[in-house]
């Protein structure tokens, strides 16, 4: 599996699937979530409404993941996952690991080969970036990749990319 750490706009990446750092409503929000919903178009929110109606009437639980189509995005699909609010959870690392692991599981179950992740929970949810990167590094080291052969960690700022590169030993 090829790992890339990049700075960029996840909504512009041509991969099989991008991961959305969603809130539990699945109906869009700020940051990455809002950008993905705006870029994908109104069909994405409609599909998310159906998921809420049929699978998760109380909202998507923290650490779980669901897949939708990508609509107007270059990515064919979007996997939505809810990361932990850092200061609200007793064990935020376990929940963050679940968000990444469950997203990878959904990608594998759907025969997807390339996936891009944002820095889940590191924005308004307050997860310290270096600590989050260590959780992600551990998940990736332990995960049994079968179909995924390309994984991108996409950071919006160059400073965040540099922190992740240090943690992953890519600097």
* 9 labelled catalytic: no
Which domains does the chain carry?
2-153 (3.40.220.10)
Condensed to tens digits (0 to 9), the pLDDT of residues 4-62 reads 999 999 999 999 999 999 999 999 999 999 999 999 999 999 999 999 999 999 999 99
What's the rounded mean pLDDT across residues 122-148?
98
Rg of the chain over Cα atoms, rounded to whole angstroms, equals: 15
Please state the three-class secondary structure of 95-162 as a single string: HHHHHHHHHHHHHHHCCCCEEEECCCCCCCCCCCHHHHHHHHHHHHHHCCCCCCCEEEEEECCHHHHH
Flag whether pLDDT at 152 surpasses 80: yes
Q: Would you say residue 171 has pLDDT above 70?
A: no
Q: Say yes or no to pLDDT of 170 above 90.
A: no
pTM higher than 0.95: yes
List, for residues 85-100, the tens digit of each pLDDT value: 999 999 999 999 999 9
Residue 113 confidence (pLDDT): 98
Confidence label for 110 from pLDDT (cuts 50, 70 and 90): very high
16, 33, 98, 160: which is the annotated catalytic residue?
A: 33
pLDDT number for residue 52:
97
Q: Coil, strand, or helix at residue 97?
A: helix
Structure tokens at 56: 């998760």
Nearest to 80 by CA among 109, 106, 111: 106
Indicate left, alpha or beta for 4 from its phi (over 0: left) and psi (-120 to 50: alpha). Answer: beta
């Amino acid at each position: 599996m090829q790992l890339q750490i990049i700075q960029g706009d996840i909504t512009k990446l041509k991969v099989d699937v991008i991961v959305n750092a969603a809130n539990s409503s699945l109906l869009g929000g700020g940051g990455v979530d809002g950008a993905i919903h705006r870029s994908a178009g109104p069909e994405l929110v409609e599909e998310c409404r159906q998921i809420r109606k049929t699978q998760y009437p109380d909202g998507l639980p923290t650490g779980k993941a669901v897949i939708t189509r990508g609509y107007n995005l270059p990515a064919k699909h979007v996997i939505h996952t809810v990361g932990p609010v850092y200061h609200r959870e007793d064990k935020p690392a376990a929940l963050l690991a679940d968000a990444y692991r469950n997203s990878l599981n959904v990608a594998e179950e759907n025969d997807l080969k390339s996936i891009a992740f944002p820095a889940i929970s590191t924005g308004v949810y307050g997860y310290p970036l270096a600590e989050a990167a260590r959780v992600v590094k551990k998940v990736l080291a332990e995960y049994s990749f079968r179909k995924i052969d390309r994984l991108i960690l996409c950071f919006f700022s160059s400073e965040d990319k540099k922190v992740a590169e240090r943690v992953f030993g890519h600097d």
